[in-house]
Structure 1
Amino acid sequence: MNKWVLISLAMAGSAALLLGAFGFQHLGGLLPCKMCLWQRWPHGAAVIIGIAALGLRMAPLAWLGALAAGTTGAIGAYHAGVEWGFWPGPASCSGGGLDMGGMTGADLLSMNAPSGLVMCDEVVWSLMGLSMAGWNALASFALMALWIAAARR
């Protein structure tokens, strides 16, 4: 395969993963946690990088695409590890979540409290034992390999 086909496939892969995430959220009703949202940004960057690389015919941009795919893959692997309890996640979205011990009675009764808070250490969907974060990590590392293959041609 030539480098332009590889870049197109890698870019389309990130776009598909983003569309899948939005589908799970808006059609399936599965709200994302903070770390799920973190994983979306590098996919968006990879799509923009792919468009730029194809439009400008600048194959060296594929290295940036590989960096974006690797970044979301690393975030996904970290997130999956948090879900499996291998290591702690961000205090604001895992473990005990909000620190209710530091809240006043008025804070606890407030109608302005966050609603729909999704914890980063809870798996809301899985397939064959892997959560969405785990699948994102695997798919993103595969996309990173495509980007690297394109950059090396």
Structure 2
Amino acid sequence: MTQTDSKFADSDQSSCNQPSASGVLQDVHISPLLMEDFLELARENTEKDLETCGVLGAFLTHPSQSCFMSSIDLHTHFSYQAMVPEAFAIVMAPTDQSRSYGIFRLSDPGGMSVLKECEESGFHPHGEPADGSPIYEHCANVFTNTNLRFEIFDLR
């Protein structure tokens, strides 16, 4: 998860064209090069079919599948979004030819409620939120901006 304090916005570069169902959030700007550089750092793990998480490290999960949030991703992200509503997850899918990345957040209150009540661990299915919303959604408040500067620190 990355948040940058820049005033440069490029709404034509939105990560998705869908509005957020969860209400009004602060706009967040990220550099698309951040994702490219992260993929380069994660390449070795991807070749070994290991998922790399930019905050927590590597887990044996789904980097060779399509771009989606697994149950482990959802639980990991829940704690961040509970603290900071603008928190988002960038899911990289290096081998997905239809979409190499997605920028997601838990729906609120639907997905947040499901994850708050879930006591399971590991890979497992989640029920639908009571309000009928999806458990997670594309972020409409996150924009890519090629003018932003960033640094990556590999702490391995």
TM-score range, shorter chain: under 0.3
Decide which structure has greater helix share: 1
- Indicate the structure (1 or 2) with the bigger Cα radius of gyration: 1
